[in-house]
Amino acid sequence: MCFDSESGPPIGDGPIAEVDRESLTLTAADGAIFQAFTARPQTVTGIGVVVMPDVRGLYRFYRELAVCIAEVGHTAVAIDYFGRTAGIGERDEDFPYMEHVAQTTRAGVQADVDAAAAYLRSPEGGSCQTVFTVGFCFGGRRSFVAAALARDLTGVIGFYGRPGPGPDGPGPSAVAESISVPVLAVFGGADDGIPPEDVSDFERALTAARVDHEVITYPGAPHSFFDRRYEDHADASADAWRRVLAFIDRYGSPNRG
């Protein structure tokens, strides 16, 4: 897993907007109903962000992250992946998430992303004109893949998403030629699960496909370094958060020329 129950987004104080928040149930195109959580500033920017969690699905860390995104002015929806197999409702720390991860499909996850993006574009979701994804680990990989599968995203962001092949099919490097939106990819240099050569291959694939991209590796940072518990990596976390906000601002402004 990426984070435990004591983890939280390592985001410091700054200008904070008034935020409304609520739990939702959304319906994907295949009829699946799944959990989501939205945070919406009272004055919206027209930018929406779909938050894609790690293997545990929707839990506190990602609700907090959605609020942090809304506090800087953008509407956020954090989604769960397990509506098809685990239903909806609260889950405790003993939830056997890996059993449900094994039952996810690329098409199912993408259908949930599409439903969340549609919500963000609706009047209830803030009538967002541009929509990004930001994912972590399992969600980071699928955020990259969403760039190849969805034609109406503005850009995608992934933290420590494995770019190589896996049991779920071709990885982000293999589908880079189908990506047509900007990519921000964030990795830890001391991530034992993602070899540096896989990161290099991903960057080469994006370059070959002429995708506007930024691939950042923080030396010495482990998998899941974006966590307020990792005080030794606070500078990397702060820099990564600045890059996320700059990326969204650069590509997401509805008035961007």
pLDDT in tens, 156-185: 999 999 999 988 889 999 999 999 999 999
Residue 25 has pLDDT above 60, yes or no: yes
- At 38-83, the pLDDT tens digits run 999 988 889 999 999 999 999 999 999 999 999 999 999 999 999 9
Residue 209 has pLDDT above 50, yes or no: yes
Average pLDDT over residues 185-199: 96
Kindly provide the b/e burial profile for residues 222-234, where b requires at least 16 CB atoms within 10 angstroms of the residue's own CB. bbbbbbbebeebe
pLDDT at 14 (0 to 100) = 59
Percent of the chain residues topping a pLDDT of 90: 82
Kindly state the average pLDDT of the residues 124-153: 95
Listing DSSP states for 140-191 in one string gives HHHHHHHHHH-SS-SEEEEES---S-BTTBS-TTTTGGG--S-EEEEEETT-
Percentage of the chain modeled with pLDDT above 70: 94
Which pLDDT tens digit goes with each residue over 11-20? 766 557 789 9
Edge to edge, the sheet with strand 19-27 lists 19-27, 33-41, 75-79, 47-52, 130-136, 155-159, 183-188, 213-218
Tell how far CA 131 is from the center of its chain.
Answer: 12
pLDDT at 256: 46
Q: How far apart, in whole angstroms, are the C-alpha atoms of residue 135 and residue 150? A: 15
Residue 255: pLDDT band with limits 50, 70, 90:
low
- Name the architecture of domain 19-252: 3-Layer(aba) Sandwich (3.40)
Q: What is the pTM of this model?
A: 0.94
Predicted confidence at residue 257, as pLDDT, reads: 39
Of 239, 204, 228, 251, nearest in space to 60 by CA: 228
Residue 3 has pLDDT above 70, yes or no: no
Beta strands of the chain (E only): which ranges? 19-27, 33-41, 47-52, 75-79, 130-136, 155-159, 183-188, 213-218
Q: Are 164 and 141 contacting, i.e. CB atoms less than 8 angstroms apart?
A: no
Considering all CA atoms of the chain, what is the largest pairwise distance in Å, rounded to the nearest integer? 49
Q: Taking 70 as the threshold, does the pLDDT of residue 233 lie above it?
A: yes
For residue 10, the 8-state DSSP code is: -
pLDDT of 4 over the 80 cut: no
95-109 average pLDDT score: 95
